[in-house]
Structure 1
């Protein structure tokens, strides 16, 4: 059936995009590193069409840049870019926290379904904290991205959830190029995930905002130290 081929290609396109995003987050694809559609197609043993589509998708997400007549390269984010990401993330999360508490959103922290979802978010936070404490960057990134996606999903607006997730991926892409150069990260990575969940469970947006502000200061200070050499 024609539809099956379309679904398969779409799925393959997403799989390739996810795999390349993970390569960037793992530091195996470095900022400024160039590659062609053919090179990626050969690497994964697939045709050029889903690869080209995946690379265009990643370009739209800000992770790759198209290089005229040469292919694509990994986008190089600066420290100023990171500061801008932090500001944008904060504006979104502050609004989410306030509306979850005051009931002016699609979901509130008085809704039993939201309370149940928050328990799941906390479990993700616990896993992220364990990875942060152990200095395991690979595991931390996975759980941290899932944690924040689930936190933002509590509000019930998928557009905000997708926007914040994209910002967080970009933030990690910016940070990993420096964090991967550190041989020992144990004790250096932020691990306040459950503290944030507990503040939300208490319906205390000011405390939740304070946790996020402390996180942002910690992350920015760490990145500033690393970029300074």
Structure 2
């Protein structure tokens, strides 16, 4: 009998989970409620990560079959390094920006906007979502969603079965944007000059000085972000949220590069533009309406 039990044990060992290559896992008979929830969470997390990996692999393969890969396109150069801590991002050892899992689509959208303003997305060139996804180390889905948002904003246009083409812009469009911005913001600036006390304008001087530091870096994308922050702070004193949204959208569109010279504005041009912010604050504090109107119109006309 002892020998029979021994043979049955050996047979069970040969045909059990260990023999089939699957590691045997000891499961306790009972778990406390908290332990059960924790275990379930771990299983769900593992399943989600596995599903994400599968989606990424399928996205790359599907994009290739749809012809979304434009093999002749040039990879996007690494954006210029931002100097301010608020906008600084992590960079992996291979030079690719590290995208955090939280709000991936939003981070990709910000990165694409930065590349667009910096002239790293060439007007007229087609970029595929899988190729851009490889550059950021993410799946093609958040990149495609971000590019679709840029299409709604007018920065790119969809090219079926290929990807997204950066819109070609000319000097006329830039002049039209400057005219619209002046029509909207000049009256607001004049009203603020009459009603806002001088000490409130003094509170905005750190933002004006920040634009000068950003211009000193010579990085067009860094300056663009600082420039918009200053203008938003000025217009925020009007207390009109819809105005802020419309003005910021027009401002962002005005910062897209021209096809003739995507990165024409150098450090000297950026510094001259930034100096106008300080001059504008001085005129607003002094309630000099003539100078305010002149500065705002010239500032918009010179933005590119």
Q: TM-score range by the shorter chain?
A: 0.7 to 0.9
Q: 1:48 to 1:130 in 2, by over 3 A?
A: closer
Which runs of structure 1 show a deviation greater than 6 angstroms over 4 or more consecutive aligned residues?
none
Shift of 1:43: 2.0
Q: 1:136 to 1:68 in 2, by over 3 A?
A: closer
Q: 1:65 to 1:10 in 2, by over 3 A?
A: farther
Once residues 258 and 218 of structure 2 are traced to their aligned partners in structure 1, the CA distance between those partners, rounded to angstroms, is: 14
Counterpart of 2:268 in structure 1 is: 186
Once residues 57 and 143 of structure 1 are traced to their aligned partners in structure 2, the CA distance between those partners, rounded to angstroms, is: 22
Structure 2 alignment gaps of length 5 or more = 1-40, 42-47, 49-99
Instruction: Tell whether the 8 Å contact from 1:124 to 1:147 is kept in structure 2 after alignment.
Output: yes
Q: Which moved more, 1:79-88 or 1:53-62?
A: 53-62
Alignment of 1:125-144 (within 5 A): 125-132=208-215, 137-144=220-227
- The CA deviation string for residues 8-51 of structure 1, in whole angstroms up to 9 with x for no partner, is 98821111110000011111111112111222222222233322
Tell whether 2:298 aligns with 1:214: yes
Instruction: Tell whether the 8 Å contact from 2:170 to 2:258 is kept in structure 1 after alignment.
Output: no
Give me the TM-score of the superposition, normalised by structure 1. 0.76
Counterpart of 1:46 in structure 2 is: 138
Q: 1:134 to 1:57 in 2, by over 3 A?
A: closer
Once residues 65 and 87 of structure 1 are traced to their aligned partners in structure 2, the CA distance between those partners, rounded to angstroms, is: 24
Once residues 281 and 258 of structure 2 are traced to their aligned partners in structure 1, the CA distance between those partners, rounded to angstroms, is: 24
- The CA deviation string for residues 114-138 of structure 1, in whole angstroms up to 9 with x for no partner, is x54x334322112323544675534
Q: Secondary structure at the match of 2:121?
A: coil
Residues matched between the structures, number: 206
Counterpart of 2:123 in structure 1 is: 31
Tell whether 2:152 aligns with 1:65: no
Which of these two proteins has the greater Rg computed from alpha carbons? 2
Give me the TM-score of the superposition, normalised by structure 2. 0.59
Which of 22, 36, 46 aligns to 2:114? It is 22
Once residues 293 and 162 of structure 2 are traced to their aligned partners in structure 1, the CA distance between those partners, rounded to angstroms, is: 44
RMSD: 3.0
Once residues 205 and 11 of structure 1 are traced to their aligned partners in structure 2, the CA distance between those partners, rounded to angstroms, is: 43
Shift of 1:157: 1.4
More helix by share: 1
